[in-house]
Amino acid sequence: MSDRTPYAQQVLAGQSIETPSWAFGNSGTRFKVFAQQGVPRDPYEKLADAAQVHKYTGAAGSVALHIPWDRVEDYGDLARHAAALGVRIGTINSNTFQDDDYMLGSVCHPDAKIRRKAADHLLECVDIMDATGSDTLKLWFADGTNYPGQDSIAGRQDRLADVLAEVYERLGDDQRLLLEYKLFEPSFYTTDVPDWGTAYAHCLKLGPKAQVVIDTGHHAPGVNIEFIVAFLLREGKLGGFDFNSRFYADDDLMVGAADPFQLFRILHELALRDALLPASGIAYMLDQCHNIEPKIPGQIRSIMNVQEATAKALLVDHDALAAAQRAGDVLGANAVLMDAYNTDVRPLVAEVRTGQGLAADPLAAYAASGYAEEIKAARVGGSQAGWGA
């Protein structure tokens, strides 16, 4: 047992990772959505499934909503439903990409009427934050162009800045917005918020209540994400993560599945700055789609993957690392990191769970609970996560 084990266990016990409501509905690619039995039929049932993830991991107490996919009559009632299930509403995610009106963009659209419609939707999302008690608005824009000359690149930035400023003004004192960037898709020539630099520049101009969110699947191959993490963290502009894995582009596979070492390197930067607990203000979220695997176990596995990578990051001996770095001991410094990464932390994390009165193996406990069979029998005609929902 490393002498950092008790500290690692203490931090892990307080860690919180938000699940996305859309992970529980059917999802797929543009080629096919494979329907699974027992998927939720409405936002209330999505919360019930999310609560299962929390029940067995103890680390997923908040759930992100996506509007309008999770539109309900009474958001206060939805928040009370969440509380009764032992979870709470986390970030509110806007959607300015699924209407026909948005073919040429939303907040960057050349037509002021469409920009107005998009801005009104974002303002409605802030109303929903008020009603649910959510403190974070997460903005991802599908805006961009497909062909050179299609629209003014700079003009679109002006339009984006105008809408962001309007939404920023509407935020309450305890609310914030997170701006997400993505290299490409659905636009293939320019994307209006393609990278962290663009998001950072807009957030800087907006003020302290605007921060950048890093979706781990939204970069070009080879981009050093932990550098972005370290930079934004240092500037106080890292608002959160959308965790997932990618082999190619925005694959939205389970976090830690494609590159657990990258996840460790990211979490190491956060551990160095004591930024792993909710008090850091960084929203740790999953943004994933379980197209071919069962959804609740997919989310549980994802939480476990984040916990294991976090445990390894927490085992890094910071004093030894700093000493090696000061001494210019390149191999020694690298060895400090690799020693932690190569530790089998599964027993350490299992102990955290049993210490919280949970089963050591959340996947086995969930499987034994019979919940999957129950929802298969009870729910017929579950809904799609997004498009068409």
Site for ligand AOS (CB under 6 A): which residue of 45, 135, 215, 308? 215
Q: Tell the smallest beta-carbon distance from residue 387 to ligand AOS (Å).
A: 9
Give contact residues for Zn ion (rule: CB under 5 A).
215, 242, 250, 287
Phi, psi of 138 (to 5 degrees): -110, 125
CA angle (199, 204, 210) in 5-degree steps? 75
Site for ligand AOS (CB under 6 A): which residue of 56, 75, 140, 284? 140
Phi, psi of 78 (to 5 degrees): -65, -40
Nearer to Zn ion, 70 or 337 (CB): 70
- Residue 386 in contact with ligand AOS, rule: CB under 6 A: yes
Between the CA of residue 40 and those of 45, 261, 289, 382, 389, what are the distances in Å? 5, 33, 14, 5, 11
Pairing of the two strands 19-20 and 62-66: parallel
Q: Count of alpha carbons within 13 Å of 315, Cβ hemisphere only? A: 24
- Residue 192 in contact with ligand AOS, rule: CB under 6 A: no
Q: Tell the smallest beta-carbon distance from residue 232 to Zn ion (Å).
A: 16
Nearer to Zn ion, 186 or 278 (CB): 186
Q: In the range 223-262, which residues lie near ligand AOS by CB under 6 A?
A: 242, 250
Q: Name the token pair of 279.
A: 């008090």
- Indicate which of Zn ion, ligand AOS, none lies near residue 386 (CB less than 5 to 8 Å, by partner kind): ligand AOS
Measured between alpha carbons, how far is 229 from 236 in angstroms, rounded to an integer? Answer: 10
CB 187 within 8 Å of CB 146: yes
Nearer to Zn ion, 55 or 66 (CB): 66
- Indicate which of Zn ion, ligand AOS, none lies near residue 93 (CB less than 5 to 8 Å, by partner kind): ligand AOS
Nearer to ligand AOS, 66 or 301 (CB): 66
CA angle (367, 216, 82) in 5-degree steps? 45
Contacts of 2 (CB under 8 A, 6+ apart): 8, 315, 317, 343
Strand order across the 176-180 sheet = 19-20, 62-66, 88-93, 136-139, 176-180, 210-215, 238-243, 283-286
- Residue 329 in contact with ligand AOS, rule: CB under 6 A: no
Nearer to ligand AOS, 47 or 316 (CB): 47
Nearer to ligand AOS, 242 or 308 (CB): 242
Q: Tell the smallest beta-carbon distance from residue 135 to ligand AOS (Å).
A: 18
Site for ligand AOS (CB under 6 A): which residue of 49, 180, 192, 308? 180
By the criterion CB under 6 A, which residues form the site for ligand AOS?
Answer: 22, 66, 93, 140, 180, 182, 215, 242, 250, 287, 386
